Structure 1
């Protein structure tokens, strides 16, 4: 099979980690190719994500690179075993490859941390809210509905039997922006409260009075891997999304998220009694905005 021209994020990430391990032990590409009994170019293609490495071949490489059995070893083996096919394949006619990469990344994440400064996170959006957001950049009605279906399908990971832990920090500005009108926003804010009833979902609001730190940090997502070294940071831009994988970026964004969490209001607790709210928290702020629309 010829090398693929557009590897997925998972395939690129596996290649990056293998190259890091090989470089760490100072092994040349020729020596690595000898471990697999293949040509030198094969190692280059594997490390670029352009070709797959068989499970038994990956086992040999990891052993040769001195990677001890444990979370990293198991995580890389699992990454190679996956073939990247899932429910998102039926939407490849409308969504960009990076969107499919994001859906795949979400599906295999050990935990998700999201900070949004302008809009409600995609995994917490209602259909009407998502439709209003998507319609700003896509004007074909049929494609808009396909995009909405794709976004709602992504939300399945929050209700699966082994649902992922999801932490979202949303700037107060996103609550006030009337995406789709007042009725759509009221339903969207109610959706935030309903989502927080799930034991794996935690929603915090970053209030205006907390300062400008949220604006400086912009919007980002941190997707947990089998070990922290396999975490991925996702930055979404209008023209191109970016996936960050190096340790320095991972540490910086993890610290940024924790700082945001400390500055934000306490998480939404829909089951708490009104009289227990001695100070303003995320629930009371969401309710205030919702009832004032």
Structure 2
């Protein structure tokens, strides 16, 4: 099988984890290649994500690398056997590799933590709000419609997979930015309150009076699963989105999110009785902004 020219993020991540494990036991590429009865270049291709590895051979490598049984071992095995195919294949005519990687990563995660300073997070957007956001950067109406449909399809993970926990910290600026006009924004804020009724969704607003925090201007998503070692930070960029997987970076972004959550107002809870809102919380702020539109 010829090496891949464009491995997916999952394939790159599996390769990076195998390389880390190999180096952790001080095993050379030549020694690892002997386990697979192959050439040294085979290990190099596997570790760069350019070549797959069978279930039995992956199991043999993990055992040789002294990877202990448990969630991490199981997730690496799962990553190695995944096909990479899913509902996102229906959008291959429009989306690029980074968007496919994002959708696949979302489908494999059990915890999503996101911070959004300027716009409502994509997972919580209405169709007309999403279309207005995407139309601002895409001049072709047909492609803008497809991007919008793709974004809405991604939202199904919140309702179709109830085991997924979603936490969002949204800066107050995003509530005031009139994307698509007042009526579009009003319906978007109603949607924000509606989706907060889902038992697996927590929405908090970071208010202006909380002041400046070093991370409050950064948009990021942290994808988590059964094995914390495989968590991933996603940084969206117009030309080159980034997937961060270094342990120190993951730790720093996790700390930033928790600090943002601590500084933000109490979560939106549309079902709570009026008397419980004596102090300012996220719901009262969302309602206040909505009534002033």
Q: In structure 2, do the counterparts of structure 1 residues 275 and 237 end up closer, same or farther at CA, with 3 Å as the change threshold?
A: same
Stretches of 4+ aligned residues off by more than 4 angstroms:
214-217
Partners of 1:217 and 1:256 within 8 A in 2: no
Partners of 2:95 and 2:147 within 8 A in 1: yes
Matched with 1:53 is 53
Matched with 2:25 is 25
Residues paired across the two proteins, number: 293
Alpha-carbon separation, structure 1, partners of 2:158 and 2:30: 45
Alpha-carbon separation, structure 2, partners of 1:38 and 1:225: 32
Alpha-carbon separation, structure 2, partners of 1:221 and 1:203: 14
Alpha-carbon separation, structure 1, partners of 2:190 and 2:275: 20
Matched with 1:146 is 146
Alpha-carbon separation, structure 1, partners of 2:250 and 2:194: 31
Q: Write out aligned runs for 1:191-210 (5 A).
A: 191-210=191-210
1:233 aligned onto 2:233:
yes
Q: Cα deviation per residue 1:2-42 (whole Å; 9 max; x = unaligned)?
A: 11111100000000000000000000001001111111111
Q: Secondary structure at the match of 1:159?
A: helix
Alpha-carbon separation, structure 2, partners of 1:15 and 1:37: 18
Q: Write out aligned runs for 1:1-293 (5 A).
A: 1-213=1-213, 216=216, 218-293=218-293
Shift of residue 279, structure 1, vs aligned partner: 0.5
Alpha-carbon separation, structure 2, partners of 1:215 and 1:68: 35
Shift of residue 214, structure 1, vs aligned partner: 6.0
Q: Cα deviation per residue 1:266-291 (whole Å; 9 max; x = unaligned)?
A: 00001011121011000000000011
Partners of 1:18 and 1:47 within 8 A in 2: yes
User: TM-score when scaled to structure 1?
Assistant: 0.98
Q: Which runs of 5+ in 2 are unaligned?
A: none
Alpha-carbon separation, structure 2, partners of 1:118 and 1:238: 15
Q: Cα deviation per residue 1:117-147 (whole Å; 9 max; x = unaligned)?
A: 0101010000000000000111111111111
Q: Secondary structure at the match of 1:26?
A: coil
Q: Cα deviation per residue 1:85-115 (whole Å; 9 max; x = unaligned)?
A: 0000111211111011001000110200000
Shift of residue 161, structure 1, vs aligned partner: 4.2
Shift of residue 66, structure 1, vs aligned partner: 0.4
Shift of residue 258, structure 1, vs aligned partner: 0.4
Q: What RMSD in Å do the two structures reach over aligned CA positions? A: 1.0
Alpha-carbon separation, structure 2, partners of 1:205 and 1:8: 34
Partners of 1:129 and 1:180 within 8 A in 2: yes
